[in-house]
Structure formats: structure tokens, C-alpha cells
Structure 1
Amino acid sequence: MRTADGDVILGLHRSGHPRDVLEAAADLGITRLDTASNYLRHRSHETLNAVAGDLLSKFTVSTKVAYFPDGHSLAPARLRAAVERAAKDLGREPDTVLLHNPEHSRPAAGLLSQACAALADAAQTGLCGGWGVSSWDPRPLVGFDVPQPDVLMVRAGLLVGLDVLEAAEALAARWRPSQVWGMSPFNGSTTEAVWERFDPRIFLRDGPSVTKVQAAFRSAYHLPQVNAVAVGTDDAGHLRELVDALAHEVDHHVVTEYRQLLQGRRQSD
């Protein structure tokens, strides 16, 4: 689903990959799926192909590589083999392959550059449509140079700490990806106590007419500024609620004030 601000991506983290949710996503106009080689106990790709292979033509598919059954690795040869395996298990070439949490292995600049170069080469040789980096905590990556990625994927939303938010923005400015995607706008749950204590509807111009969940999701497109947000759910009703949230307008003045508040709290600590 695309709006003036961006797209909704159906993320498959913690998902059982049910066909009915994939069908609902397609019916709602969502055209992007995001998964990873290690999701669903390292069986996400083959499960997607088995459960919904005939539906995959309705979506662009992004996946991530670097986590293997024996651990995390940035070895270029292993990454390339993982891309090849992803295409085989999916029954099609992925549209985008992301280097999954490179900070996990605390890479030196040379190793990170080599890992990124391996994915860039995979894209250039037709194993995937494009490549990028997905980082849960981009702070260790700030200051490193890599080949210009097609996508940078980072955490987005009201529960992202200022240091992580600023590191994501610094990477986007340094690496100049064609697109920046957000993920985990609810930090894994819409039922955490924080949503009882705090009302995110203040971030929307027509806040009273939406749910807290919708407001939190909608504001995630601006913390940091992203082209799309990936959200995981096996509930078609929840997915519809999020798609409907895109019709509402964010109050950019409130977003600016929120950023200033975060900065002020850091300075006072």
C-alpha cells in the first residue's frame, strides 16, 4: 500500500506465514513482503514458496542474510551462497537482499565493506534485484564507508532511542541509499504498558479520530524519515487497521518538538 509518505511492508518476523494474511495483504494493496533467511527457524523461504508460491508474483520480496544455523557470519562467500539458496528456496530471485545486522559481528571496516561488496555483486550478476543493509543498532556502523546501497533498513517509531535514531540518520546521510525503510514500529508488541501511559495521537493532526496503534504506526514514518515501514502480524484485522492509518496526516511541528524533548533529556542526564 503506497501513500504520499510511503509504503507498508508486511514483515514476517515472528510470523507463521499463514496464507490468509498474505491474501489479505494483497487485497489491501500491500505489495511488499520482508523476511530473512533465519526466520521461522531458518525455513521462511521454503515455507513461503510452499504456502503461497502462487501469490508471490503479487509482491516484491526482500530478505536478509548473515544469520546461519551455526551463527552470524559476514564471510563474503557464505553471503553469496545464502543469496543463491534464497532464490532457490523462494522459487524466484529476491527483489532485495539485505545484510542482516552486521553490527552483530562487530566488523572492522574492511570486513563490512567486503560483505556489502558481495551483496552488491550478487545484485549486479542477477541473483537479486538490489541489495542493502538492515541494522537493529546502527551505532557501531557510523563512520564506516560501504558501496552505496539500494536500501538501508533501521528501527523506526516512538520507542527508538535518540542515539539509535541519530545513528540511523547519520548512516543514511553517509551511505546515501536510494530508500530508507523502517521496522519494528511497536518494538514487537502493541500491548506494552507504554501505550497505556502515553497517547501517540498527539502526533496526528486529526488524532482523536484514530486509535493509539494507528497513531504510533503513522508517526513511525517520520522517526526517522523513511520511505516504507515493515510491520509483522498474523492478524488481518490489525493489518487493515495499519493500512487505514496512512490516510491520516502527521503534525510535523509535534515531531520536531518531540525530537527537541529527547535532545533536552539527554543533555540533562
Structure 2
Amino acid sequence: MRESHPRVVLGLHRSRYQRHSLAAALDMGIRAIDTAFNYHGFAAHQTLGRFRDLLPEFSVSTKVGYFPGTTRAVHSLAPGQLRHALEQTNRDLGRPPNLVFLHNPEHTLSRLSPEVAREHLTSACEVLVNAVQAGLCDAWGVASWRPGPLVGLIDGDTPRPDVLMVRSGLLVAIDTLEASESLATRWRLPAAAVWGMSPFGGKATDPIWDKINPRLFLRSDSRRTCSPIQAAFRAAYYLPRVGSLAVGSDDPAHLRELLASLGAEVDGDTVTRYRTLLGRQRSGSNSPSSRSASARTGAPSST
């Protein structure tokens, strides 16, 4: 069995929650899994709890914020609902999770005035702070798909999470990249405390990955040994800068391919040029220098 890869987290959003997939991840050295209260039709925790021989081998992170509704999941930051979800999570897993994220708080907060939204965010974060103190989890964090609405809500009264999870990768828009970095800065979180998610913006089999050349984001020695998918995965650690990356797959071969890319070196200058290009696209620039940057990086024409 290989040494663990602390920078890789097995995301279970679309997983079929099968024993052989978890066992294969363990055999490859993956020691962290990420799920949520609402995943797998709100049965993720119960299903994982049945793997009592495998589950102790993993660090388990999960999320709370979505709850069963009449026809679809509904989002809520109500302290009572969050606390109930945390207690049920412990019962279903048969153990406290190592980390609990507040799940996409912007879903609710973006509909409120800034003053009310700030109060709701602070109250929801305090539920997780209290959960740590009560032994319902070891640490807490915030997972945000659209971090922009959160940036202006953070002040001196907002509890500081242990971990922030945001989207990462070549298909993340510049506004989201900048908002993620601003949020981490406001909370004084180093890159090691920031997790990336959805590095392929959907699926690694999407046609976009046949149209661009992510290997240009690697230094020359690494370009020769990495596939485009490996290069895109490795570059996702730098867009924005994250210490861990959650990626989902029930295919052991795909996971093995991604893990093999961790030793590849990313070209920081190319990442900087790419971000400059994204900024120009946002402002509507189509100058020759912008087109030249696109040609150098092999960047997609849109994000």
C-alpha cells in the first residue's frame, strides 16, 4: 500500500457508494473522503456507516445546509436544522466526522440584505463552532460554489473556519477565483487550509479537454510525462492556490492516473499569464496581446 496523498480527497458527490471503490482508493493511498448530508438521496451517511471496516481508515468530511423538501432539496441556515443534521450525521456514520462544512451558504444569504445576511452567516457558523466543542465533529469549514456573495459579509464577529472549500481549475471564471482568494484572505486562511473542488468543471470526459492543451501549464520536463487530464488536474491546485483537491470518481484507473500527476511541476508564469487573460476577457478586451496570450497558454476561449 502506498503512502497517503494528503492533497487528494475522494469526492463522493456522484459516487455509487460501493465498497470496492473505497477499498481501491485506500489501496492507492487516499485517506480522505468528502460527502454531504444531501448526497446519495440523503442516504450518503447511512450507506457509509455500513462500511464499518473501511470507514475508520478515512478522514471524513461532510456538509450540512440542504434538507429534504416536498419535491426537491431545500437550503436552510436555521440553527435548529443545522444542529439536527449534525446529530443525525453522527448517528448515521456511527462516529463524529472529522470536518463539517457549511454547505453553500450563499444559496440563502444572497437573497437577504447585507445586514440580515451577516447575522445569518454568523449564527450558522456559531452552530458549527459549538458542534466542535460538543464533540460532534473535529473541525468545521465553509464550502461555497459561488463565494462572491460571502466576501462582503465577513467582519470581526464572523467565526473563522478551519477550512474553506471552493471551485478550482482551468474552467473557473476570474470573478470566482478572485472571490475565493478574497474570502480566504478575510478569514486569514493559508493555502494549506483551502480545498479545491470540481477540478474539471463537470467531467474529465467533457469535449473541452480535447480542444485545449493543459500541458502548457506545466514545466517542460513534466509536459512529456503527463496527459492533458493529468495536467488539468495538477494546474487546479493553482487556480486558486489550494492545499487539497477533492475529485470524484468510481473508476480506480482514473484515480490512479490523477495521483500519478502529483509530482508534476506547474509553470507559475503561465498561470499568471492565464489569469491576466481571464481578466482581459472579463473587461471585453480582444486585443492582439490577449489573443497572443491565449495562443501561448492554449486557454479556452471562455470560462
Q: Same fold (TM over 0.5)?
A: yes
**Mapped partners of 1:265, 1:48: distance in 2:** 43
Q: How far does residue 208 in structure 1 lie from its aligned partner after superposition? A: 2.6
User: What is the 5 A alignment of 1:1-269?
Assistant: 7-50=7-50, 52-70=51-69, 71-106=74-109, 107=112, 108-145=117-154, 146-177=158-189, 179-205=193-219, 206-269=222-285
Q: TM-score, normalised by structure 2?
A: 0.85
Q: How far does residue 177 in structure 1 lie from its aligned partner after superposition? A: 3.4
**Mapped partners of 1:251, 1:202: distance in 2:** 8
Match of 2:289 in 1: none
Kept after mapping to 2: 8 A contact 1:152/1:172: yes
Classify the secondary structure of the residue corresponding to 1:54. coil
Q: How far does residue 198 in structure 1 lie from its aligned partner after superposition? A: 0.4
Q: TM-score, normalised by structure 1?
A: 0.96
**Mapped partners of 1:27, 1:2: distance in 2:** 9
Kept after mapping to 2: 8 A contact 1:149/1:176: no
Q: How far does residue 2 in structure 1 lie from its aligned partner after superposition? A: 5.7
Bigger Rg over Cα: 2
Unpaired stretches in structure 1, ≥5 consecutive residues: none
Q: How far does residue 55 in structure 1 lie from its aligned partner after superposition? A: 0.7
User: Could you list the per-position Cα deviations for residues 88-111 of structure 1 after superposition, in whole angstroms to 9, with x for gaps in the alignment?
Assistant: 101110000000000111251100
**Mapped partners of 2:253, 2:284: distance in 1:** 42
Classify the secondary structure of the residue corresponding to 1:10. strand
Change (3 A) 1:79 1:177: farther
**Mapped partners of 2:187, 2:79: distance in 1:** 20
Classify the secondary structure of the residue corresponding to 2:132. helix
Larger RCO (CA under 8 A, 6+ residues apart): 1
Classify the secondary structure of the residue corresponding to 2:283. helix
Unpaired stretches in structure 2, ≥5 consecutive residues: 286-303
Match of 2:299 in 1: none
